[in-house]
Amino acid sequence: MRRLFKRLLFLTISGKTIIIETMKFVDEAKIYTKGGDGGRGCVSFRREKYVPRGGPNGGDGGKGGDVIVRALRNHRTLLDLKFQQHHKAKNGGHGGGSNKTGRNSDDVIVAVPVGTIVKDAQTGGLLADLVADGEECIVAKGGIGGKGNAFFATSTNQAPHYAQPGMPGEERDVILELKLLADVGIIGFPNVGKSTFISKVSAAKPKIADYPFTTLTPHLGVVKYGKYESFVIADIPGLIEGAHRGQGMGIRFLRHIERTAVLLHILDISDETTDEAWRKFEAINRELALFRPDMIEKPQIVAVNKIDLSATRERLQKEIDFFKEKGINLLSFSAITGKGLSAVINAVIEKLQSVKAS
């Protein structure tokens, strides 16, 4: 028996229940943030024996805490922020007599994955693009503390009976958008074998099945080559025509390939006419261009999968010749048997190195 409740998976095996924590990929969240108010200043006068005319000694209020969004490499999703949407810092302490300053409040840290974009929900303005581990942005500043009456004492006003209130902390609704940081993005129509490819060349274990939209969330894998070198590859959920308008999986995952340096475009010709592969190739690139015009400028490696199937092998040479006429070198491989995978990886490495060199 299996029951799914939120993030816990209960498996009953031989009368024993095993609880497995599952991780849901969330790449967008909206949160409310509020910086702490500054503490108020104090109105106080010295009251000591044998000091008949004690002066003002009211201390200043403390600063309210800031709300800070910080990128951390050990975070992979914005899931937690879907459940905790309010982040408020504490107010600063009030000033006291004997020139005692109020306590400054601690900052509130909102941890997000590296690659998160921080936007103002009202204006849509970009507040920060957190692309490095430990990089942070103050989204709601805490108010400064008010001055105590000791601050206002002068030669002509030796006994001020007033102090400042603390400044209010900032309030802001913030939108967080995660864009995965990967060197290579795998694109193509659903069910062309993107998940199988990434599972073969890296340690990533995406869901694999023989129906469209198996991949519902992006997956990252690390491909190692040479002695110490590697690159990060992202398996992006399948696109279809009209994705930029919200068709299929929509534009939700298109942003995850914005940061990639190279695109690996995988085609499936196992059940198509001769010109169908080119039509699909153009359709995917059209969606990229409509989403963001500069996306079409990214270098692409184009490869046909499923050469283990006889139908693919029969059409392969015609497709290679057709794409060659268009100025594109068409590679081929089988993600199931592994044939041709090394040639595809070598082409990706070569392209990455040329991009970095330029």
Beginning with the edge strand found earlier in the chain, give each strand of the sheet holding 16-21 in spatial order: 2-5, 8-13, 16-21
pLDDT range class, residue 59, cuts 50, 70, 90: very high
Is residue 210 over pLDDT 50?
no
Average pLDDT for 150-156: 92
Which pLDDT does position 241 carry in this prediction? 53
Domain co-membership, 253 together with 143:
no
Q: Which residues touch 123 (CB under 8 Å, ≥6 apart)?
A: none
Boundary (domain end) residue, out of 146, 178, 210: 178
Coil vs helix vs strand at 80: helix
Domain co-membership, 213 together with 351:
yes
pLDDT range class, residue 133, cuts 50, 70, 90: very high
In a domain? residue 12:
no
Coil vs helix vs strand at 11: strand
Lookup: tokens for 243: 């994705």
Give dist(CA 218, CA 249) in Å, integer.
12
Boundary (domain end) residue, out of 178, 204, 234: 178
Alpha helices in the chain (DSSP H): 79-83, 194-201, 276-291, 310-325, 341-357
Is residue 126 over pLDDT 70?
yes
- The dihedral sign for the CA sequence 189, 195, 197, 201: positive
Domain co-membership, 201 together with 154:
no
Which pLDDT does position 155 carry in this prediction? 87
Average pLDDT for 134-159: 94
Give dist(CA 3, CA 9) in Å, integer.
6
**pLDDT tens for each residue of 22-57:** 445 577 899 999 999 999 999 999 887 776 777 899
**pLDDT tens for each residue of 61-87:** 999 999 999 999 888 788 889 889 999
Is residue 120 over pLDDT 60?
yes
Domain co-membership, 158 together with 215:
no
Beta strands, E only, the chain = 2-5, 8-13, 16-21, 28-34, 67-72, 86-88, 108-113, 116-120, 126-130, 136-140, 171-178, 184-187, 219-225, 229-235, 262-268, 300-305, 330-332
pLDDT range class, residue 204, cuts 50, 70, 90: low
Domain co-membership, 204 together with 307:
yes
**Parallel, antiparallel or unpaired: strands 86-88 and 126-130:** unpaired
In a domain? residue 16:
no
- The domain in which residue 343 lies consists of 184-357
Which pLDDT does position 205 carry in this prediction? 54
In a domain? residue 13:
no
Residue with tokens 């581990």: 133
Determine the distance from the C-alpha atom of residue 292 to the mean position of all C-alpha atoms in its chain, rounded to a whole number. 19
Read off the CATH number of the domain in which 193 is found. 3.40.50.300
**pLDDT tens for each residue of 244-265:** 444 444 455 677 778 888 999 9
Which pLDDT does position 334 carry in this prediction? 93
Mean pLDDT of the chain: 82
- Tell me which residue of 183, 185, 237, 230 sits closest to 207, measured CA to CA: 237
Q: Which residues pair with 288 in a beta bridge?
A: none
Lookup: tokens for 159: 């006994």
Domain co-membership, 158 together with 298:
no
Which pLDDT does position 217 carry in this prediction? 60
Which pLDDT does position 95 carry in this prediction? 96
Domain co-membership, 190 together with 337:
yes
**pLDDT tens for each residue of 212-237:** 434 446 677 778 887 768 888 887 76
Boundary (domain end) residue, out of 178, 211, 243: 178
pTM: 0.68
Question: Does 156 or 222 have the greater pLDDT score?
Answer: 156
Q: For the chain, what is the domain count?
A: 2
Q: Which residues pair with 108 in a beta bridge?
A: 67
Domain co-membership, 190 together with 169:
no
- Tell me which residue of 168, 169, 174 sits closest to 34, measured CA to CA: 169
In a domain? residue 7:
no
Determine the distance from the C-alpha atom of residue 4 to the mean position of all C-alpha atoms in its chain, rounded to a whole number. 26
DSSP one-letter string for 238-297: PP-TTGGGT-TTTTTTGGGGSS-SEEEEEEE-TT--TTHHHHHHHHHHHHHHHH-GGGGG
Is residue 122 over pLDDT 50?
yes
Phi and psi at 83, nearest 5°, equal -100, -25
In a domain? residue 94:
yes
Read off the CATH number of the domain in which 109 is found. 2.70.210.12
Lookup: tokens for 299: 């270098």
Domain co-membership, 157 together with 188:
no
Which pLDDT does position 172 carry in this prediction? 96
Coil vs helix vs strand at 319: helix
Give dist(CA 117, CA 255) in Å, integer.
11
Which pLDDT does position 97 carry in this prediction? 92
Domain co-membership, 190 together with 174:
no
In a domain? residue 62:
yes
Average pLDDT for 150-162: 91
Is residue 138 over pLDDT 50?
yes
Domain co-membership, 143 together with 244:
no
In a domain? residue 72:
yes
Which pLDDT does position 201 carry in this prediction? 81
Domain co-membership, 336 together with 193:
yes
In a domain? residue 18:
no
Which pLDDT does position 214 carry in this prediction? 41
